[in-house]
Amino acid sequence: MEDIIVLTLHRAMVAGTPLLLATTGEVICERSGILNLGVEGVMAMGAVVAFIVTMTTGQPWLGVLAATATGIAFSSIHAFASVTLQANQVVSGLALTMLGLGLSGMLGKPYVGKPLSIKMEDWSIPWLSDIPWLGKILFTQGPFFYLAIVLAFAAWFFLERTRLGIQIRSTGENPKAAETQGVNVFRLRYLSVLIGGGFSALAGAHLSISYSKSWIEGMTAGRGWIAIALTIFALWNPGRAIWAAFLFGGFFVVQYLLQPLGISPSFLAMLPYIATLFILLLISLKDPRKLNAPAMLAEPYKRGER
């Protein structure tokens, strides 16, 4: 029994890692007022580039670096469309998803069916990994897990406690007021979208070179959309995103354990979205101000307009 619980929680952490990375990125992006629905596509691009680079060079961290760079470059399309051109962010984001999924499939075609011989070993943290239960669940994990947690905390600190973070939040709440305070709204929104893209691509890199160690078209399998739902679920707070991401990872893992009890897997697949709707409903009923959504989310900012 202990085995089942420990292994399941361990898997929930692994399954939640890409969700946490992508959600952290999306939180930063949305806090600046830009809705990016392109997470899924950027993630796929990150996955394919990380895989190709790791395969050809044999260096997984070079693959991660290349994926992050690709994610930044790729999401600049969305930044250009939504910030410079002030286009509809929903349309531009969806286009990015479609473009990313298609392009990654095309680029990755010669690499399908080739196993990656590079292994990303789990890191056992000394002392901590000897703690019963918790040691195996939290402190014997792949490097991406620790990276995701560190980055999520860093993002929380960045947004809540640094000058730049506060400026980014102010561009999402009231860009006009921010601009009068001397904040360059365009530059900060660009920066946020690019950081978000880098995070999404990192999540993709985790999928292809650590989680499954192979590239297969469509391997992101809707995780980008879950990350967008999670952003709302976590109420735009990277700290809250940590436990939310692992909770959603748990939903994904536990469906196979519950199967013998006759619980439909389709129901469990719906849970992340239902949970998001439920949280929205709950908070809206109690105190809508607590929702914390950036006031100018998805609103293009036009300089000098009333």
Partner 1 sequence: MKKWMILVLMCSIFLIGFSTTAFADDKKLKAGFIYVGPVGDYGFSHAHDMGRQYAEKKFPWLETIFVESVADADCARIIDRLVQQQKCDVVFTTSFGFMDETIKAGTRYPDKLFMHCSGFKRSDNVGTYFGDLYQMYYLNGIMAGALTKTNKIGYVAAFPIPELVRHIDAYALGIKAANPAAKLNVKWIYAWYGPDKAKEAAEALIAEGCDALAFTEDTPAVIEVGQRHSEKGKQIYTFSHYSPMQPYGVDSVVSGQLMNWGGMYTKILGDIYNKTWTNEDLWWLAKEKAAILGGSPTDIINPKFVGALKKAMLDTKEFGKISAYDLVVKRYAQMKQGVDVFEPFTGPISDNKGTLKIKAGETASKGDLLSIMYYVDNVEGDVPQ
Q: By CB under 8 A, name the binding residues for partner 1.
A: 3-4, 7-8, 11, 15, 105, 108-109, 112-113, 115, 119, 211-214, 216-219, 221, 252-253, 255-257, 259-260, 265-266
User: How many beta carbons lie within 10 A of that of residue 264, not counting itself?
Assistant: 11
Q: State the CB neighbour count (10 A cutoff) for residue 139.
A: 19
Residue 223 CB, nearest approach to partner 1 (Å): 8
Taking the complex as a whole, the smallest distance from the CB of residue 291 to partner 1 amounts, in Å, to: 31
C-alpha separations of 159 from 27, 31, 144 in Å: 10, 9, 22
Nearest-approach distance from CB 44 to partner 1, in angstroms: 13
The residue type found at 27 is: V
Residues 6+ apart with CB under 8 A from 269: 255
- Minimum distance from residue 221 beta carbon to partner 1 (Å): 5
Shortest distance (Å) from residue 213 CB to partner 1:
6
Closer Cβ to partner 1, 90 or 112, answer by number: 112
Shortest distance, position 160 Cβ to partner 1, whole Å: 33
Q: Which is nearer to partner 1, 17 or 237 (CB)?
A: 17
Distance CA 256, CA 138 (A): 21
Residue with smaller CB distance to partner 1, 86 or 255: 255
> 125 or 257: whose CB is closer to partner 1?
257
- DSSP conformational letter for 37: T
Cα distance between residue 30 and residue 19, in whole Å: 16
CB nearer to partner 1: give 195 or 205: 205
CB-side neighbour CA atoms (13 Å) of 266: 0
Question: Is 86 or 212 the residue whose CB approaches partner 1 more closely?
Answer: 212
At closest approach, how far in Å is the CB of 179 from partner 1?
43
DSSP-derived secondary structure letter, 131: S
- Of the two residues 81 and 209, which places its CB atom closer to partner 1 in the complex? 209
Give Dmax (Cα) for the chain. Answer: 64
Confirm if 19 and 222 have CB atoms less than 8 A apart: no
For 235: left if phi > 0, alpha if psi spans -120 to 50, otherwise beta; the answer is left
